[in-house]
Chains A and B, each alone.
Chain A
Amino acid sequence: MTSAHATDPIVQELIEILGPDHVLTSTEDRMSYAYDASPLSGSVPRAVLFPGSSQEVSAVLKLANRERLPVIPRGGGTNVSGGSLGVQGALVLVLTRMNRILEIDERNMIAVVEPGVITGQFQAEVAKRGLYYPPDPSSLGFSTMGGNVAECAGGPRCCKYGVTRDYVLGLEVVLPTGEIIKTGARTMKCVAGYDMTRLFTGSEGTLGVITRIIVKLVPPPEACRTMLSIFPSMDAAAETVYRIMIAGTVPAALELLDNAYVRCIEDFAHVGFPKDAEAVLLIEVDGDKESLDKHVKRVADVCKAQGATEVRIAETPEQAAELWRGRRSAFGASARIAPTIIGEDVTLPRALIPAMAKRCREIATKYDVKIAVLGHAGDGNLHAAFLCDERDKAEMARVEEAMTELFTAALDLGGTCTGEHGIGALKPKFLAMEVGEAGLAAMKRIKDAMDPNGILNPGKMFPERVAP
């Protein structure tokens, strides 16, 4: 693990590019960039680099390409699929120093940011100008815009507002070979050539390093209302999700929580979730003040028609905040009942959520594992969380098998193995199952064309062997 870094000529060259303060080489520093927020563990990299400009990123990539060194781009290290895990001998390229909001253009409703800007801080700045950047991954308080774009992050609001890719208009990207390119434009439409912007968005750091981002902004909703619908069965709640949408109202957020989550959230956060409810839907409706009551009533009517035993509409912003506090504490609350939480993000066409929820229950019973289900159900995204203990090897083996069956079930039903977390190091084999051999080979050809020496984020996205 240790090496003679003081005399490592590569490190010397990196220091010349970045300056000594922006290159970390001690064992303790390097080991701290081996992991991310996924349950996997990575390898200790060779050095950790903090570039300050696109030019520095370019110089580093040229060097890495010349020396055939793996490079791992990284923001806040909040990736949950292992996309920013360290790789043996790699250079970890941390982009948090490039954290300026370069421009908020109110007249054209766009903004230009560097990749290290923290998403939540960007949203707050935009809100000060009366504008809105909706994508809201639950890590928004500490994950970066660059990481959000590279992973095409989602979140609860994506039910109505779409995911990160729906807001990215253009990018500046440093290619693995060192060229700095621009994609897209500052315009709402642009069909000049291939849609490279969308190619890099969600590319998980395998095609290029994003160094500048142009995003679209929208007007914020005038008002919003939150309600909690309580259901006597998971099936009834799951069935209600798509019925709300086809009734003509697209909620800003539509979250499904099963009894396991309802109980542990209530024990922890005391927000008034009924512990005997088999499932609840937490629904937020937003829009113009004038039309809000109509939409709230419509959603409430659908819930009642589907058998909701109770529909609680928050009377005040404080009551609404309490309900959302409960939802946000879901992860922490579950972490208190099991030391290891593995959160999955299979996503289905909305109308298949009842079927998938049923499969989750069957899989949990079959493999004797604990699965708690919560989902951004409005967009078909189901977060099945395995509550386990990493020290229990037998249990972890069962979890592994159950996870495989869960992904397979999602694919069988016509869904995807990942709605917003990415393939990373966790799901390459399911990518192959999902897109097929020819589909995977096509992706690999793009990868090879952009990154001929395979230096960018190796070991992620693609299975070890891909048929040429």
Chain B
Amino acid sequence: MTREFKRDWEGEAIRCIKCGACQVFCPVFLETQNESFLARGKVMMMRAHIKNEIGLTEGFAERMETCLLCKRCVANCPAGVRVDKLVEAARTEVADRQGLPLIKKVIFRVGLKHAGVFDTAMRLGKIGQGLLFRRVEQGMLPRIPMGLDKKRMLKSLAPRSLRASLPATTPARGPKQMRVAFFTGCAINYMYTDAGKAVVDVLSRGGAEVVLPRGQHCCGTPVRAHGDRDTAVEMAKANIDALERANADVIVTACASCGLALKEEWAELLHDDPGYGQRAKGLAAKVKDFSEVALSMPRVIDALGPVGARVTWHDPCHLVRGQKIAAQPRKLMRSVPALEFREMAQADNCCGSGGTFSLSHYDLTLKINSRKVKNIVDSGAEYVVTECPGCMMQIQDGLQQAGSPVQAMHLAELLSRSLAAREAGTTSAD
């Protein structure tokens, strides 16, 4: 198979009728007010590239990189232009023609692509991070620039990864209702292990036997989003092999971006591979977000105990627009006794994380994040609950910079705490 940008994407690009509706939705444009960074501007630049009016200049690449893939333009486009898919394709075009920058190439092709190497690197990273980062209460700050902004707070790597610290199979509590394979994703496996443990806890209490399939690996989204499609294809195939072997009734994700990859993007990546393409589709039919599964479990809903706290919800882009999931987490939170749920303004606006976007465009991401942080603080909540580790890291960073005591929390952690409160028969005070 060969990719050809013009042949594959011209039909989509010309569907943009240039109306400009994206101006009030594109988070990047709202900050820059520069048309060339707007969804419409990017699509028009792609059309210019197709017509050979502009080459793959550094400026072209920069515009394509400066997109959060938040899908707000897509959701609000009168013509329904898939700007997200176009931007990814344009990044692939740049990577195909000009190659990835060397540093990305090493990380993606050697590190991320091979599960073993990746795991070793992340374990070594735990030693290395002490030299490179200084610990603060909520995470760590870079000691030296390394291409990251020195103010940028990152989540520390966990002492032991989730998959190394939990058994391969956690039995259901009580009668087994289903066998669930938990696709952890990298951030939950290496950094947000508490969220991962909470997912396993809630699902097993709900009656699921939870397996952590061996050989599962990064979902490939960061690699694909940077234009390295071939590596993403390899990763998707390895994951499909691993997840099929788990022989589960349901495959659960607790990271919005992983969930979207499993539900939709793997099948798209593999569309012209007859074998894996079909398998990706079959797998996708079994994939559920954690909130969908938790909400379907009577043994969870009926056993929620009181959590006396004020919370608000942040809709991750790849959950609300990617997977059309917004009602389920809210229903779950409203089911927790004593919990006060406060809807923040513009809950579905992007936090500016965009995966690794926040690392490379820190000043821009800070501005986008500050709007989100203000809405969180204005809601009066003590906790901002969400379901995407990338958003959690970003939002916690923004809250820290703003001097706010509000904490980011994964939905599974909240539910796990609620279930434990019922079990203990006491009210969780904080």
A interface residues with partner B (beta carbon < 8 Å): 24, 26-29, 31-33, 35-38, 50, 76-78, 96-97, 118, 139, 141-143, 329, 331-332, 335-336, 339-341, 390-391
Contact = CB atoms under 8 A, between A and B. Distances in A.
Contacts of A332: 77-80
A37 B18 contact: yes
B59 A341 contact: no
B187 interface: no
A28 B79 contact: no
Contacts of A96: 33
Contacts of A97: 33
Contact of B80 (A29, A38, A335, A341): A335
30 contacts: A26-B59, A27-B57, A27-B59, A28-B54, A28-B59, A28-B62, A31-B44, A31-B45, A31-B53, A32-B41, A33-B35, A37-B18, A37-B19, A37-B20, A50-B33, A77-B20, A77-B35, A96-B33, A141-B24, A142-B20, A331-B19, A331-B78, A331-B79, A332-B77, A335-B17, A335-B78, A335-B79, A340-B14, A390-B14, A391-B10
Contacts of B79: 331-332, 335-336
B383 interface: no
Interface in B9-68: 10-11, 14-15, 17-24, 33-36, 38, 41, 44-45, 48, 53-54, 57, 59-60, 62-63
A46 B388 CA distance: 44
Contacts of A143: 20
Given A37-B20, A332-B79, A32 B59 contact: no
Contact of A31 (B19, B33, B48, B80): B48
Closest 5 CB pairs of A and B: A335-B79, A332-B78, A28-B59, A32-B36, A32-B35
A24 B34 contact: yes
Contacts of A33: 35
Q: Give the residue among B11, B20, B33, B63 with the most A Cβ atoms within 10 A.
A: B20
A428 B124 CA distance: 69
B11 A336 contact: no
Interface string B342-370: 00000000000000000000000000000
Contact of A336 (B41, B48, B60, B80): B80
Interface size class of B (residues with CB under 8 A): 20 to 34
Given A35-B44, A142-B20, 5 more contacts: A27-B54, A31-B45, A36-B18, A141-B24, A142-B22
A341 B20 contact: no
B33 A139 contact: no
Contacts of A335: 15, 17, 78-80
B333 to A, nearest CB: 25
Contacts of A391: 10, 14
A287 to B, nearest CB: 31
A139 B34 contact: no
A31 B24 contact: no
A218 B324 CA distance: 40
A341 B17 contact: yes
Contacts of A31: 36, 44-45, 48, 53-54
A28 B80 contact: no
Contact of A29 (B10, B17, B34, B48): B34
Interface in B77-100: 77-80
A14 to B, nearest CB: 16
A317 B332 CA distance: 29
A391 B19 CA distance: 19
A163 B324 CA distance: 39
Given A24-B34, A141-B24, A32 B17 contact: no
B117 to A, nearest CB: 37
Contact of A139 (B20, B41, B54): B20
A339 B9 CA distance: 13
Contact of A35 (B18, B33, B54, B63): B18
B15 A339 contact: yes
A331 B35 CA distance: 23
A28 B60 contact: yes
Nearest to B35: A32
Contacts of A29: 34-36, 59
Contact of A76 (B14, B20, B62): B20
A96 B23 CA distance: 11
Contact of B45 (A32, A77, A331, A390): A32
Nearest to B44: A35
Contacts of B21: 139, 141-142
Contact of A142 (B23, B57, B63, B80): B23
A309 B126 CA distance: 74
Contacts of B36: 28-29, 31-32
A51 to B, nearest CB: 13
Contacts of A36: 18
A24 to B, nearest CB: 7
B51 to A, nearest CB: 10
B188 to A, nearest CB: 37
A28 B79 CA distance: 24
Interface in B146-205: none
A28 B45 contact: yes
B204 to A, nearest CB: 40
Contacts of B22: 142
